[in-house]
Amino acid sequence: MSQTGNILVIGAGIAGMKASLMLAGASSKVYLVEKLPIIGGKVIKNEESFPNLECSTCMVAPIQQDVLQNPNIETLTYSVVEKIEGSAGDFSVVIRKRARYISLTDCIGCGMCYEPCPVSLKNEWEENLIDRKAIYVPCSGSLPNVPVIDSEHCLRIGGGEDCSLCAEACAFEAINLDDSDEIIEVNVGAVILATGSATFDLSSIPDLGYGTLPGVYAPMEFERLFASNGPTLGEITLRDSEKIPESVAIIHCVGRREQKYCSAVCCMYSFKFARFLKHKIPSVRVFNIYSDICVPGKSYQSFYRSVEGADTEMLYTSSIGDVSVSESGSGLKVSYPDAAVSPQSLNVDMVILAAALVADPDVAQLAEVAGVDLDPQGFIKTVLDGSGSMETSREGVFVAGTAEGPKDIQNSVVQAESAAGQVAEIMTSQASSS
Amino acid sequence: MKEFEMQESGQDRKLRAKVGVYICECGPNIAGKVDLDRIITDISELDDYQDVELVVKKYGFLCSAPGKEYLEEEINSNGFTHLVIGACSPRDHDSTFMGVCKKTDLNPYLYRIINIREHCSWVIDDKEKATVKAESYIRGGIARVLRQSELFEKPLDINPDVLIIGGGVAGMEAALSLSSDDRRVFLVEKTDRLGGVSIDLSGILPGQGEVIGKKIESVLGNGNIRVFLNTRVENVIGFLGNFEIELLSEENTEITEIMSGAIVVAAGGTLFDPRESDRYSYSGSDEVYTSLSIEKMFAGDDGAVLRSGKQPSSVALIHCVGREEKNYCSGICCSYMMKLACFFKKQSADIQVTEFYRDICLPKKNDQERFSEAQAAGVALIRIKDISLKGTNVSFERISGDKDKQSFDMVVLAPALEPSADTEYFADLLTVPLDEFGFFQEVHKMTNPVGTATDGVFIVGAAHGPKGVSDSMQFARASAGQILTRLIPGEKLIPEVAVTEISEAYCTGCGNCLEVCVYGAIYSDDSRGISVVNEAVCRGCGNCFGSCPSGALRTKHFTNTQLYREVDEALR
Amino acid sequence: MEKSSEFTPAIVGFLCNWCTYAAADLAGSSKLELPPSFTVIRVMCSSRIDHNLLLSTFFKGADGILVAGCHPGDCHYGEGNYYARRRFALLKKVMETLDMDPERLQLSWVSAAEGKRYAEVVGEFTEKIKELGPNPIKNSTRF
Amino acid sequence: MTDAQGKGAVLPVSKDPGDAILEFLRLAVAKELADAVILPMKVPSGDSFAWILMNDVSLFEGAVPIAAAMPVQGAKALRSLTRKGPGNLTVIAVMRPCEIRAAIELEKLGQVHTDNLILATYDCPGAIPLQKYVDDPGGSEEHFSLMRRSGKPDNTAKPVCHYCENFSMFDSDLHFGYFGFSEKEVLVIPGSDKGSELLKGLDLDLAKDLSDWKKGIDSLKAEREEARKSAFEETGEQLRGFSGMQSVFASCIGCHNCQSACPICYCRLCYFDSETAQQDPDALITAAAKRGGVSLPEDRIMFHVGRMTHMSLSCVSCGQCTDACPVSIPVAGVFSYVADRTQRTFEYEAGRNDGDPLPLRQFRKSELPGIHELVKNAESEEPSHE
């Protein structure tokens, strides 16, 4: 089999990038497919990652650069895998490379094309906290630093109007408004699914006011609000872009009851948020409303202890599922039962909901394409659960990172390394047997 | 024509310098903000170097495919000795132009990219000022490149074999993942059997005993795994790809010498001793037990019974023993305590089982079931703030602040998992630092959790931090992943090229550099009284350089002479 | 001597490759305005910077020197910036004791995401140096 | 320090404390408790001293344990002997406290190995600058004898000696104390297990209470502290503004003698003599063109500042640099002043044998908050650790 050396990795987050680099280093040709126009995954949305509060960009950017510059990795951004046929050692894969309208080789990322675009839209990558154009890069520092055209909203492509302002502004003739999707077929010996996860749908709990009360935030929204390359350039203000919150409540375990599992990362990011808030707004009062503290493993609890009392007040509630948020004057009122099960309330300017990690909504479709089973929680299932093996129900197809279940960065990387190891094992045994 | 001596080359080769200076227009991005023609004229007429020939040109897009071809052609036809590219950030295209150099006779370390886009044209609005600035940067680049030296990759032969320290689940998992016909594994275990702690847990999880048993069988039956029981690792020297190891067998006190390319430390963990805290009045001889001893009882035929052999009528399960003392949550105790509670209930539904917990920590997606099962089985769950024991009498403070007392027939403690007693020994032997909790410290918590400061030494299982059987196996597989993708039989390793070297004439052997090196890349050569860099290990960060008062070190490609020239031009 | 109003200082910034240099790139691609008097010199790690390099830069006539690298704890090489901080503190103390305008030497931590902060740090430092005026060392080396 | 018991043994004095020390050493060698000793000896011309490693007891006659001048810093002698390793011989070295402190610093720097050395100090009255001693050995000896009796350096002593606070027992194995009481006896005080063993081997009883002697030392220390304060104030005044430092070092001829004489400058070859440290001639020409002129060689002041960054954390203020300066620059005054401040920044004291690693070889993750505050709060002199 000539194609045994090739590998398909789906998802260019920390797990996918790590696995790709390892296998590319072992001389495999890697097709790294990412549905977004940029690589980096969720980690690059965080200014700093727990427990060391390490700068995520500093940590991930060199990895992103390595991926893009590695001659053995073909990175296909803005692309989706449509078919994986065949069997371990000989899969044929169909990839749809969506029309980007901008040439990755000609564009140098100067950004001259954004200004003239007359369309203004919410930037989803920035959690809708800022506007973007129809031609855009999701955030500053995007890699690859090449924009994409949102074809649906582009006046010309989506609206049929005669607009080519972006193309006119481009000095490099890098914009091709007649671009179309491209279908790529490749043969690979193994597949790694590293498509990540999503956050729990907060609007499904109306009592918490997400989506109706502007002062209520999802965790990723807050991450971007704090980020120095984010929509407010790191200034923590409420949605009116002016008011700086004087008091913030962080509500733990949102979605734990519904999902029937603990995501194991929410306590830590909640404490991180408390530290961020106190760091940026020294006079702010932060309250963490919790019923269990889950800080497993070395160095997590010590971070919690350093935050507890110093950056945040800890408020215990006997039933986290009974916490509610309502409007109160210009602010918010958080109601919760305390340790003695008597009702308490608290007035704050801002509420952050520590939402559970849940399976990515696209994972069901991916599972179908990849022919793998999902577990009851909707994540991709490993066949030998608990053995550390990352093999899915389909031989030759592996999973890594939060696509397999909620976890922190460390465990995502460990799984990526495990999956890469298993793929390398197959590759060498195939190579030696053929 | 005078000859230019390459000061930094350390070779006595002399050659006449011909420097190519190519400025990328980057469309309007550079050309629009910087007067390139003026720069070309100025630089061409530069009389700083009478003995150096300068060829200065501009081009539309040097990073484009035709741009790279053009550059390659220019280098070849002009026979440049050095090359300066005025373009964008090295983070974008340093490797691009190095790649072009590699296709020619020009050593890629005799080229320099100068960032006149991010540092000039994009951030200085005034064209005059931007032009002056860009010219200054380019002059700096020329001055620097003339002091750069040729550097070469030095591929290293490697040994693909692996030493695994510890024959518990993590060690066995790593061994099975790694062994193959072209990779031998040496599995060293200090006791007389494989399996580690997991043996004691066997029989608890359905099929687990069988799984562990099978694992031991397949390790022992694997011709590519050599198992050393009752053996300790006596000495280790070397680095990734080339370790030399001495093993000492307890039985015949003979030293066995082996070689390996990597070392996986799976030295395991142990339980916090409840005697270290007086709140549990633990003696080990009454009806207060650790979770592990109860696990063993359940694994036996009689189940968990009192010392008298009688069934307990009430059992207290106490979580978080040692959590505050160690200042970490072990992350596995809640889960197995729920499991033990259910076992008691299964043993006899009449046993009154009470769990005293502080927080419920069930970080695995399937763990929550355990909690529901325990609840369904009728286990009483009491959340506490504080707790103390006198024998089997439990005094506790509820979360609400109410204080209470209860007596039980039997008390089970869930002690924290702590590093095994050997950890310090191995840390010293392998020059791997320990963290504040006494576990091995990973080289990077997030991006490389199984790697250590000594590249080629990997830490897995409970030696890395508190973790259960499945995470231990997961970490073991991760280390296998790194080894399988980095140490490939028959292939060579290419270490960092721009590393540090030490001048014997200047080095006094004071050890500053050796002390500050994170990678253990510097060792002391006592016979010569100097420090020496192991170039296979050095990453070229230059921390050692900053520590040396003698100027005995030289971090290649970032030497002081090179930087001084940049400074000179910046201050011109 | 130049009057401080028309004084254009010569400032050298030694930036670590992994964090601050990346921040400078981000400032560049964000088209933030930076003072032309600031010259960037890239090093792999702030710990690479030895006392001689800094002193020599002053004696060669720099009006100000900015050393910038990863935040403590974020070093690409693990611990380099902690050592850099100590070495820096020593030099700063020596300069202070010798009344050598220690404010001309600044250490800042700027992460790869902090493009805006990079521009601010460079801008503020440049302003500070403008206020301080030319480095007296510059003329002293004539004698 | 193991003198916690506050006890010492007594040695009888016949002529001066030096004789008592010699007698003690003779006994130690005779009883095979030591193989050799290192002591200063008058050179044949009588106008200087040299360090002699001797195992022949008959040579002791010409030795001067408490010598009036310090031609070569004793730590350098110890370095010659032990730089390759501790060797097999047990050697007792009797030196000034500043010399032993330098040796302890050099041990941290891998240049001295004290494992088999017994480091002995004595109450140091100060040292007379070598040039003065050479010019007038007789007069110097008279002055020195007075200083020895009073414990107070007079105007013939090195300037740094006037404000040296570490003139008595520091981290040595053994100390000979005699300040403040009759010329009839010398105290011998153990400072480590090695010291105690030696005294035990010599059957010397730790019978004498040290409190009186200590009281005397403390009052001398208080005087020195005052002197130190005013000396530092004066130095600070001299160094005001860059021009201040410039004029202090204006007459420097770039001979680097101060560096050669310095016990802490342990480098095989000095960085400042290396090719890398030299200005690029191309750059000198352009600099001259820009500034109108440059001085050649250019590094005179930079050399001193650079050396301060290299060695001030280990500087023991022995004053050898000033002695070595052919143009009488008060090098030691400046270095001692800078060293005082840099060592305090890291809560470090050069010459301590307390297992503290050198400041630049370690770090704390949380320290030096806002290094700029270090400058703003210079006057408060608070340690900068969190």
Q: Helices B127-145 and B36-44 sit at what angle, rounded to 10 degrees?
A: 40
> Nearest residue of A to residue C114 by CA position?
A228
- A255-259 mean pLDDT: 94
Whole-angstrom distance, CA of residue D125 vs CA of residue D131:
18
Where among D230, D250, D270 does a domain terminate? D230
Can you tell me whether residue D343 is helix, strand or coil?
A: helix
**Which chains border D (3 or more CB–CB pairs < 8 Å)?**
B, C
C92: contact with D, CB 8 A cutoff: yes
**C78 contacts B516? CB cut-off 8 A:** no
* Cα–Cα distance measured from residue C24 to residue C118, given in angstroms and rounded to the nearest whole number: 6
DSSP type of residue B484: H
Q: What is the pLDDT of residues B241-274, one digit of tens each?
A: 999 999 999 887 889 999 999 999 999 999 999 9
Taking the CA atoms of residue B543, residue B546, residue B552 and residue B553 in that order, the dihedral angle to the nearest 10 degrees is 30
Looking at residue A14, what is its pLDDT?
A: 97
| CB distance B61 to B67 below 8 Å | yes
Residue A396: is its pLDDT beyond 70? yes
Number of domains in chain D: 2
pLDDT of residue D313: 96
C111–A109 C-beta distance less than 8 A: no
* Surface of A (33-52) touching C: CB under 8 A: 47, 52
Rounded to the nearest 10 degrees, the angle between the axes of helix A14-25 and helix B469-486 is: 40
Shortest distance between the Cα of D103 and any Cα of chain C, in A, equals 22
Whether residue D9 lies inside any domain: the answer is: yes
Give the residue on D whose Cα is nearest the Cα of B526: D84
Q: What is the pTM of this model?
A: 0.87
Nearest CA in chain D to B543: D361
Q: Rounded to whole angstroms, how far apart are CA atoms D295 and C31?
A: 42
> What is the spatial distance between Cα B374 and Cα B410, in angstroms, rounded to a whole number?
18
Would you call D82 an interface residue with chain B, using a CB distance cutoff of 8 Å?
A: no
* CB–CB contact D311 B550 (8 Å): no
Question: Which of D167, D200, D230 is the C-terminal boundary of a domain?
Answer: D230
Does the beta-carbon distance from A26 to B488 stay under 8 Å? Answer: yes
Number of other residues whose CB lies within 10 A of the CB of residue B515: 17
Q: For D290, name the nearest residue in chain B, comparing CA atoms only.
A: B572
Residue D162 sits in the same domain as residue D268: no
D321 and D210 part of one domain: no
Measure CB to CB from residue B328 to each of A302, A387, A428 and give the nearest one. A302
Q: Do B518 and C78 touch (CB under 8 A)?
A: yes
Q: Which range (A143-147, B178-182, C68-72, D381-385) has the least confidence? A: D381-385
Residues D199 and D243 grouped into a single domain: no
Residues D210 and D332 in one domain: no
Asked if B572 and D267 come within 8 Å (Cβ–Cβ), the reply is: no
How many alpha carbons lie under 13 Å from residue C133 in its C-beta half-sphere? 8
Name the residue facing C29 among A52, A58, A145 (closest C-beta): A145
State the nearest Cα–Cα gap between A130 and chain C, in angstroms: 16
Query: What average pLDDT is seen over chain A?
Result: 94
Is C4 in the D-facing interface, judged by CB distances under 8 Å?
no
Which CATH code, of 3.40.630.30, 3.40.250.10, 3.50.50.60, 3.40.50.970, is assigned to A200-357? 3.50.50.60
D276 plus D132 within the same structural domain: no
Residue of B nearest to A423 (CA): B481
For residues B228-236, average pLDDT: 95
- The answer as to whether D138 is a domain residue is yes
Same domain, residue pair D208 and D245: no
Cβ–Cβ < 8 Å for A10, A193 = yes
**From the CA of C100, how many Å to the nearest CA of chain A?**
33
Which chain B residues are within 8 Å of A379, Cβ to Cβ? 365
* Domain assignment present for D190: yes
Identify the pLDDT of residue B291.
Answer: 92
pLDDT (0 to 100) of residue C22: 93
- The answer, for A228 touching chain C at a CB cutoff of 8 Å, is yes
Give the pLDDT score at D370.
60
Domain boundary among D208, D230, D252: D230
Residue D266 and residue D220 share a domain: no
Predicted local distance difference test score (pLDDT) of residue A2? 40
User: ipTM score here?
Assistant: 0.86
Strands (DSSP E) contained in B182-223 are: 185-188
Helix H or strand E segment including B56: strand B52-59
When CB atoms are compared, the residue of A172, A316, A387 closest to B399 is A316
Could you please report the per-residue DSSP string of D183-250?
TTEEEEEE-SHHHHHHHHHTT----EE-HHHHHHHHHHHHHHHHHHHHHHHHHHHHT-HHHHHHHHTT
Do the Cβ atoms of B484 and A388 come within 8 Å? no
**Do the domain assignments include residue D74?**
yes
Inter-chain CB proximity D271 and B511 less than 8 Å: no
Q: Is D370 helix (H, G, I), strand (E, B) or coil?
A: coil
If you average pLDDT over residues A284-304, what whole number do you get?
95
Q: Which CATH number fits domain C9-140: 3.30.70, 1.10.287, 3.40.50, 3.30.1370?
A: 3.40.50
**Min Cα–Cα distance to chain A from C2, Å:** 37
Structure confidence at residue B44 (pLDDT): 94
Query: Residue B64: what pLDDT?
Result: 86
Q: pLDDT below 50 — which residues of chain D?
A: 1-4, 372-386
Tokens 């230059």 sit on residue:
B542
Distance in Å, alpha carbon of C33 to nearest chain D alpha carbon: 26
Q: Is residue D382 part of a domain?
A: no
Q: Is any Cβ of chain B less than 8 angstroms from the Cβ of D268?
A: yes
Put simply, whether A232 touches C (Cβ < 8 Å) is no
Task: Say what the pLDDT of residue D161 is.
Answer: 96
Find out whether the peptide bond into D297 is cis, omega within 30 degrees of 0: yes
Q: What is the pLDDT of residues A126-135, one digit of tens each?
A: 999 999 999 9
Check residue D368 and give its pLDDT: 81
Shortest Cα distance, chain C CAs vs residue D309, angstroms: 6
- What pLDDT is recorded for position C131? 94
CB contact under 8 A, D283 and B568: yes
Q: What is the pLDDT of residue D385?
A: 38
Judgement on whether residues D51 and D183 belong to the same structural domain of the protein: yes
Interface test with chain B among D259, D269, D270, D273, by most B beta carbons within 10 Å: D269
Cβ-defined contact of B368 to A413 (cutoff 8 Å): no
Q: What is the span of the domain harbouring residue D61?
A: 3-230
Is D338's CB within 8 Å of C98's CB? Answer: yes
- List, as one string, the DSSP characters of A95-161: EEE---SB-TTT-----TTTTT----EE-TTTTTSSEE-SEE-SSTT-SS---EE-TTT-TTTTT--
CB contact under 8 A, A59 and B446: yes
Q: Supply the pLDDT for residue B387.
A: 95
For chain B, percent of residues with pLDDT exceeding 90? 79
Counting one residue from B and one from C, how many pairs have CB atoms under 8 Å apart?
A: 123
The sign of the torsion formed by the CA atoms of D312, D313, D319, D321 equals negative
The pLDDT of residue B205 is 54
CATH number of A2-98+181-196+360-433: 3.50.50.60
Phi, psi of A131 (to 5 degrees): -90, 160
Contact assignment for B477 to A422 by CB distance below 8 Å: yes
Q: Which two tokens stand for residue D254?
A: 């770039």
Half-sphere exposure of D287 (CA within 13 A, CB side): 28
Q: Is C128 on the interface with D (CB under 8 A)?
A: no
Per-residue three-class SS string for B541-556: CCHHHHHCCCCCEEEC
> Which of A122, A134, A30, A47 shows the shortest CA–CA distance to A420?
A30
Quick check: D299 and D277 in contact, CB under 8 A? Answer: yes
Which C residues in the span 14-43 are in contact with D, Cβ-Cβ below 8 Å? none
Domains, in order of start, for chain B:
4-151 (3.40.50), 162-270+420-486 (3.50.50.60), 273-408 (3.50.50), 500-556 (3.30.70.20)
Of B365, B437, B484, the CB nearest to A261: B365
Q: Do D165 and D299 sit in the same domain of this protein?
A: no
D357 touches chain B (CB under 8 A): yes
- Distance in Å, alpha carbon of C99 to nearest chain B alpha carbon: 23
Q: Which residue in chain A is spatially nearest to C69 when comparing CA positions?
A: A58
| Ranges of residues in chain C whose predicted pLDDT is under 50 | 1-4, 143
Minimum Cα–Cα distance from C138: chain B residue: B571
Residue D146 · residue D157 · CB < 8 Å? no
The reply to whether D118 and D221 lie within a common domain is: yes
CB B461 within 8 A of CB B166: yes
Sorted by sequence, the CB contacts under 8 Å of residue B172 that are 6+ apart come out as: B187, B194, B195, B215, B216, B219
Q: Summarize pLDDT for B412-463 with one digit per residue, the tens.
A: 999 999 999 999 999 999 989 999 999 999 999 999 999 998 999 999 999 9
Look at residue A366 and tell me whether its pLDDT is greater than 80.
Answer: yes
Nearest to C52 among D306, D342, D367 (CB): D306
> Can you give the pLDDT at residue C67?
96
Percent of chain A with pLDDT over 90: 87
Over residues B307-339, the pLDDT tens digits come to 999 999 999 999 999 999 999 999 999 999 999
Residue D243 with chain C: CB contacts under 8 Å: 136, 140
As beta bridge partners, residue B403 has B397
Residue D15 lies in a domain: yes
Q: Do D273 and D125 belong together in one domain?
A: no
**Could you tell me how many CB contacts below 8 A there are between chain A and chain B?**
210
Distance from the Cα of B91 to chain A's closest Cα (Å) equals 8
Which chains would you list as touching A if contact means 3+ CB atom pairs under 8 Å?
B, C
Query: Looking at chain A, which residues constitute the CATH 3.50.50.60 domain(s)?
Result: 2-98+181-196+360-433, 200-357
The closest alpha carbon to A104, from A79, A80, A77, A123, belongs to A77
Contact B364 A305 (CB under 8 A): no
D51 shares its domain with D166: yes
Chain B's closest residue to C63, CA to CA, is: B571
D274 vs B143, B551, B568: nearest CB: B551
